[in-house]
């Protein structure tokens, strides 16, 4: 029996096993929060099931993380329902742990000397992407305002705000996918690092842009505001970066003065980042990103072992992170008007990313491969986009466009998460210098 068939059988057996366990769920007559009991088993299902699905994708020369995502979607509340909606909140801490680790990896991948040598390309492409994405999505959203909940009786202010908000949210991208692909392909050439730097730079720009947009739109629609949405956002995002700086300094201090038991310290640190982020309403990905960036660039020798240990822990982290992301994405919006709107905007967005990247790369004098492929890493969207869409939904809860925008954004994320990794893999594999290893290679024992 060939390996893919055995994998498929194992996967089917696993899903059937979990369906039976779910059917026999018992609370022993005790009152428990809904979904708590099954969350542990769901964690195991998502971890090992996504890994098996990733292997199937790898056998088909597709990115493994597409398998992680697809498995999460399959067993999630939208399809088979083995991982139920009420279980997802209890996977949040595990997900935040995974997010923190991914953030550390992402920050650790960005070296300032490399960044400075590529600064022109990073800034030009990043700015180009933002300008083109914002403009193109805003223009494309204008005829689609009906699907965004802005009817004929809407005011001009509502129309403009809805369009501006969805255009702003669309500029966000997910560094997690780029990081995961760098790890999967063991891509060490300059191109993947440049791509990641652009995604991170763009997301940091988005902090400022979104703050301005949310301030202006809330003033326009909610009246004279005390700036609290912007203030909250500034605290949320600015505080995340500051907390990351503190976390990075402590980790570097430990690595320098003690340097032992890194395998214990890193998960504890990620646990701490997740806990503190929840308590202070910070963004764990940004906290960890800032920590990783600081450690890699200020204390590179002291933290070398720390980053090696982080890399060893990365595969199970990606499995959990992307499988949970897949389970969280509701697939119902993909059907009907919302799905069509999302598909149209996703296509426009991708086109705008390509155009903005090409223009920026050409302006910066980047090589042909960069001009052709650097756009791909900015296609996938995930946690940051979800967070921004959530802020919009919460801030403008009384407006007719809040929930439709949220649904459309979720649908866009679903589409881009499936397509994005495939594009990124193609781009990284075709890099001319130190071409990435194929994902079929295994570690030596």
Partner 1 sequence: MQVFLSILVLITLAIIATSKLFYRLRRARLGVMLFAGGWPAIAVGVLIGPHALELASDTAVYEATPLALAGLGWIGLLVGLQARRSVLRTLPRPVVRAAIWDVLSVAAIFLPLSAVTLRLLHPTAPPGPVLFAAGAIAVCSIGWSMETRSLLHAESPDAHASAMLVRVSGALGALAAIGALAVFDASTGAGPAAPRVHPALAAVIALALPALIAACVGLLGREALSQAGGSSADQLTVFLGIVALSAGAAAQLGLAALVAAAMTGVVLANISNRQTLSFERFILRAEHTVATLFALVAGVLLDPNIGLGGVALACAVAGARVLVKPALARRALRAGLPQGAAHAPTMIGPARQSPVALAIAVALLLEAPSPLLARTLAIVVLAGVLSDIAAYALSRPRRPGALQTTVGERSDGAAGARAGGES
Interface with partner 1 in residues 406-445 (CB under 8 A): 442-445
The reply to whether 81 sits near partner 1 by the rule CB under 8 A is: no
Exactly one of 239, 316, 330, 400 binds partner 1 (CB under 8 A); that residue is: 316
Shortest approach of partner 1 to residue 26 CB, angstroms? 4
- Stretch binding partner 1 (CB under 8 A), from 105-113, 229-237, 247-255, 296-304: 247-255
> Is residue 90 within the footprint of partner 1 (CB under 8 A)?
yes
Which CB, 147 or 183, lies closer to partner 1? 183
Instruction: Establish if 99 lies at the interface with partner 1 (CB under 8 A).
Output: no
Q: Which of 62, 85, 86, 92 binds partner 1 (CB under 8 A)?
A: 92
Cα angle vertex 190, ends 188, 193, to 5°? Answer: 80
Distance in Å from the first CA to the final CA of the chain:
26
Taking CB under 8 A as the binding criterion, the range among 3-11, 78-86, 199-207, 331-339 that sits at the site for partner 1 is: 3-11
Q: What is the rounded CA–CA span in Å between residue 27 and residue 256?
A: 48
Q: Which DSSP category does 442 fall into? A: -
Q: In whole angstroms, how close is the CB of 434 to partner 1 at the nearest point?
A: 21
Query: Residues 216, 234, 235, 313: which binds partner 1 (CB under 8 A)?
Result: 313
Q: How far is the CB of 90 from partner 1 (least distance, A)?
A: 6
Tokens representing 283 are 């963004």
Closest CA to 170 of 144, 198, 145, 206: 206
Minimum separation from the CB atom of position 288 to partner 1 (A): 15
Task: Specify the residue, 259 or 336, whose C-beta has the smaller distance to partner 1.
Answer: 259
Task: Give the list of residues 6+ apart from residue 23 with CB closer than 8 angstroms, or none.
Answer: none
- DSSP character for 83? S
Out of 80, 85, 86, 89, the only residue in the binding site for partner 1 (CB under 8 A) is 89
> Whose Cβ is closer to partner 1: residue 272's or residue 400's?
272
Q: 329-350 burial string, b = 16+ CB within 10 Å, else e?
A: bbbebbeeebbebbebbbebbb
Minimum distance from residue 61 beta carbon to partner 1 (Å): 17
Q: Is residue 98 at the binding interface for partner 1, with CB under 8 A as the rule?
A: no
3-state SS assignment for residue 16: helix
- Restricting to residues 169-228, which ones interact with partner 1 according to CB under 8 A? none
Q: Which of the residues 319 through 338 are near partner 1 (CB under 8 A)?
A: 319
- The dihedral region occupied by 259, where left means phi > 0, alpha psi between -120 and 50, and beta the remainder, is left
Among 8, 62, 93, 220, binds partner 1 (CB under 8 A): 93
Q: Verify binding: residue 5, partner 1, rule CB under 8 A.
A: no
The size of the chain, in residues, is 445
How would DSSP label each residue in 107-121?
A: HHH--HHHHHHTHHH
- Restricted to residues 251-270, the positions that interact with partner 1 (CB under 8 A) are 253-254, 257-258, 260-261, 263-264, 267-268
DSSP 8-state assignment for residue 61? T
Phi, psi for 281 (deg, rounded to 5): 55, 45
301 counts as binding partner 1 under rule CB under 8 A: no
CB 225 within 8 A of CB 219: yes
* Structure token pair of residue 83: 């991982």
How many beta carbons lie within 10 A of that of residue 81, not counting itself?
12
Kindly tell me which residue out of 10, 119, 142, 220 binds partner 1, with binding defined by CB under 8 A. Answer: 10
Among 34, 305, 308, 312, binds partner 1 (CB under 8 A): 312
Nearest approach in angstroms of CB 423 to partner 1 is: 24
**Under the criterion CB under 8 A, does residue 152 sit at the interface with partner 1?**
no
Residue 48 makes contact with partner 1 by CB under 8 A: yes
Shortest separation between residue 1's beta carbon and partner 1, angstroms: 11
Question: Judged by CB under 8 A, which of 37, 362, 418, 429 binds partner 1?
Answer: 37
Exposure string for 181-201, b = 16+ CB within 10 A, e = fewer: bbbbbebebbbbbbbbbbbbb
The C-alpha atoms of residue 24 and residue 18 are separated, in whole angstroms, by 10
Q: How many chain residues touch partner 1 (CB under 8 A)?
A: 71
- Does 25 bind partner 1 (CB under 8 A)? Our answer is yes
Region of residue 67 (left: phi > 0; alpha: psi -120 to 50; beta: else): alpha
**Cβ-count burial 125-160 (b if 16+ within 10 Å, e if not):** bbbbbbbbbbebbbebbeebbebbbbeeebeeebbb
- Should residue 42 be labelled a site residue for partner 1 when binding is judged by CB under 8 A? yes
Interface with partner 1, residue 52, by CB under 8 A: yes
């Amino acid at each position: 029996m060939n390996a893919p068939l055995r994998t498929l059988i194992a996967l089917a057996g696993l899903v059937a096993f979990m369906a039976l366990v779910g059917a026999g769920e018992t609370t022993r007559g005790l009152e428990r929060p809904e979904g708590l009991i099954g969350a542990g088993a769901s964690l195991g299902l998502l971890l090992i099931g996504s890994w098996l699905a990733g292997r199937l994708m790898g056998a088909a020369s597709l990115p493994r993380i597409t398998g992680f995502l697809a498995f999460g979607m399959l067993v999630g509340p939208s399809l088979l329902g083995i991982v139920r909606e009420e279980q997802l909140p209890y996977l949040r801490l595990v997900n935040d742990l995974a997010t923190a680790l991914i953030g550390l990896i992402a920050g650790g991948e960005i070296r300032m000397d490399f960044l400075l040598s590529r600064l022109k390309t990073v800034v030009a492409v990043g700015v180009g992407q933002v300008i083109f994405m914002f403009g193109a999505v805003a223009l494309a959203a204008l005829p689609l305002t009906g699907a965004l909940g802005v009817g004929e009786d809407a005011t001009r202010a509502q129309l403009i705000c809805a369009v501006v908000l969805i255009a702003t949210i669309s500029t966000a991208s997910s560094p997690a996918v780029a990081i995961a692909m760098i790890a999967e392909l063991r891509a060490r050439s300059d191109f993947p690092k440049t791509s990641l730097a652009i995604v991170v730079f763009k997301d940091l720009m988005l902090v400022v842009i979104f703050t301005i947009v949310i301030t202006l739109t809330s003033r326009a629609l909610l009246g004279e505001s005390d700036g609290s949405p912007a203030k909250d956002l500034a605290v949320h995002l600015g505080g995340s970066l500051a907390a990351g700086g503190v976390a990075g300094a402590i980790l570097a201090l430990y690595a320098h003065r003690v340097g032992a038991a890194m395998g214990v310290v890193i998960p504890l640190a990620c646990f701490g980042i997740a806990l503190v982020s929840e308590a202070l309403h910070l963004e764990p990905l940004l906290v960890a990103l800032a920590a990783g960036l600081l450690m890699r660039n200020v204390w590179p020798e002291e933290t070398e072992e720390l980053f090696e240990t982080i890399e060893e822990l990365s595969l199970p982290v990606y499995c959990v992170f992307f499988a949970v992301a897949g389970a969280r994405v509701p697939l119902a919006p993909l059907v009907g008007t919302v799905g069509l709107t999302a598909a149209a905007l996703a296509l426009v967005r991708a086109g705008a990313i390509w155009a903005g990247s090409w223009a920026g790369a050409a302006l910066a004098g980047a090589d042909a491969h960069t001009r052709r492929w650097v756009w791909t890493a900015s296609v996938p969207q995930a946690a940051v986009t979800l967070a921004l869409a959530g802020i919009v939904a919460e801030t403008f809860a009384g407006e007719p466009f809040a929930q439709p925008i949220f649904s459309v954004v979720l649908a866009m994320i679903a589409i881009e998460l499936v397509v994005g990794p495939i594009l990124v893999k193609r781009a990284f594999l075709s890099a001319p210098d130190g071409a990435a290893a194929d994902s079929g290679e295994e570690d030596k024992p």
